[in-house]
Structure 1
Amino acid sequence: MSIGNSPEDDRPSIGRVLQQARIAAGLTVDEVSGSTRVRIPIVHAIENEDFSRCGGDVYARGHIRTVARAVGIDPEPLVQQYDAEHGGRPVPTPAAPLFEAERIRSEPRRPNWTAAMVAAIVAVVGFVGFTLFNGEDEGTSTAHVAEGSTPQKATAKPTPTKPADPKPVPSESAIAAAPLDKVTVKLSATEGKSWISAKDHSGQILFDGLLLQGQSKTFQDEERVDLVLGNAGSIDLFVNGKKVEDQFEPGQVERLSYAKGDPEAG
């Protein structure tokens, strides 16, 4: 008695399905890469069932979805097949606590210059009115003098009140009060979305998912934060309160690691 293959064993590979769909849609690998921003070598590798060029499971799933939509097929069955063949989707773990100063920091209140000016004007008008009123009382209690010969009474000029110096506004290029005994990393998606993965020094996953344009994430650990950026060219990176000036390209996958004291001065 022989045992037949299961239906899963007979289904075509993910790369084969994507390649056939691309050919049926009349698209080249260059055209798929241009429309998805997935680099040409990665598209070739996926069609050859090599997902090691993707930079991790989360990026492999993202690339499969992106390429599948570009060639006009439903990506979800392929993602489910990928999970079944690669051990399934990892159970998400809660992200490490956000940097406390960033969570509780409120927008500094700026001095209300309009209210200060109005208060100063009211004070001046009140002082002048009070002085004139006292001058009229003194004139009525003394003898009348000839018309036109009334001496002008000098009045003291009020001393203008110097407004308080405005409080400094925190710079957008740094994380305020980054502690020296920890490593703090902030990611901001400014030029598009990116799949990111962050782990602490013990290998625990802090975040594994998609960062949409305009969103930010902050991670902190006692020793080290390891990163994988799927679309590194779209990310602004701040480490320990300093912006990291990089030259990452759109669609580029970068593996980075930062510890206390990074980035190095100079």
Structure 2
Amino acid sequence: MNESVGQQLRQAREARSLSLEQAAQATLLRLRYLRALEEDDIESLPSLVQARGFVRIYAGYLGLNVQACLAAMDGESLPVEAAPTVAGPPPPAREAVSSEQAETLFQEVGLKLRRQRELLGLTLDDVEGQTRLRVHYLRALEAGKLSELPSPVQGRGMLNNYAVFLGMNPEPLLLRFAEGLQAHLAARRAARPAPRPRVARRKKAGVSPLRRLLSGEVILLGGLVFALLIFVAWGAGRILAMRAGQTPSPTTPSIAEVLLAPASETLTPVLPTPTATQPSPAAVLPTLPSTADQTLETTLLAPISGAVQVYVTIRQRAWMRVLVDGEVQFEGRVIPGSAYQFAGEQQVEVLTGNGAALQVFYNQQDQGPMGDYGEVIDRIYTSAGIVAPTTTVTPTPTETERPSPTPRQSATLGSTPTPAP
């Protein structure tokens, strides 16, 4: 009983101790196509032409008689002789035969095309005009020169169009053309050096996620950040220690703050005993009356030397001039919030153009504002009390009228008697 092509292929593969994966890798055919060939499942293959090509390649790789396998596949009862199993590439003589066989197949197809064209009495130019195929491509098809065609795929399409134009059945021609391509491919593959056996590379052990995170760059960056945090903490500690070791020095309050601050305790002012004043043009203003029941809020001021002590605080902008014992100590404009202190042995005179702008403390006693807003005030503070100088009226000299010049009358010209003739 004759065995099928698939059984012969499977037995030849098992005799060489090859797996389907190894055969697919060596023949560059897909695994499912080889399995379909061994199971004689031709319907699973793309087409009959491709099935014949697959059988040709697979049988040639396993060392079987290719023609016998193709004949058995077509239903012919030709004996299939198994070729001796030879490991390694085929001998050079087989390479020459395969190359010559491919050229013979191409020439056979081209000869049929040329005979049909000559039988129809057509020239290559006539065929070019009808099929739009270039003359040199038609000549290459009839000569069986595959190298002069753009590519095997385009050559197959040109062959199909040429055969249909000549009224021939293109299937047999395409089948022979495919066999020639298979033989040409087998010859080229046989001419290549035998591939080196692939050594299975050991699979590199996977890197654990922890090792990926703890790379050199990450460790270096983390060290820098940690060092920076330590430096910041050390600097902050040093600053806090320096601040804690410093003793806060009391700040001397300004005169304005001292004068405007509320009194922490109430003291009974001691007023100087008024004495009789000598008659002078200045009137003496009585000081504040001292009563046993009346208490005034006073502010402790910084002591200054002098019999007459005057402190002036500024509430509004104004012009001020201060004379101490007859000498000008200050003259100019003052701004709110400032304070001045003056001390003299005899008197201190304060003159301002805005009485509401100045508040005077005379010998530690608050005298309040000197006057109203815009009022010109002049005060003289002495050891005996406060004197307001009276204004001396200076008589205005009367302008003497100058006599106006009197116009002089010129002499009247008299008539000169004219002598009578």
What is the TM-score with the length of structure 2 in the denominator? 0.23
Which structure's residues are more often helix, by fraction?
Answer: 2
Q: Which has the higher strand share?
A: 1
Find the structure with the greater CA-based Rg. 2
TM-score, normalisation: structure 1 = 0.35
- Which structure exhibits the higher relative contact order, with contacts defined as CA atoms closer than 8 Å and separated by 6 or more residues? 1
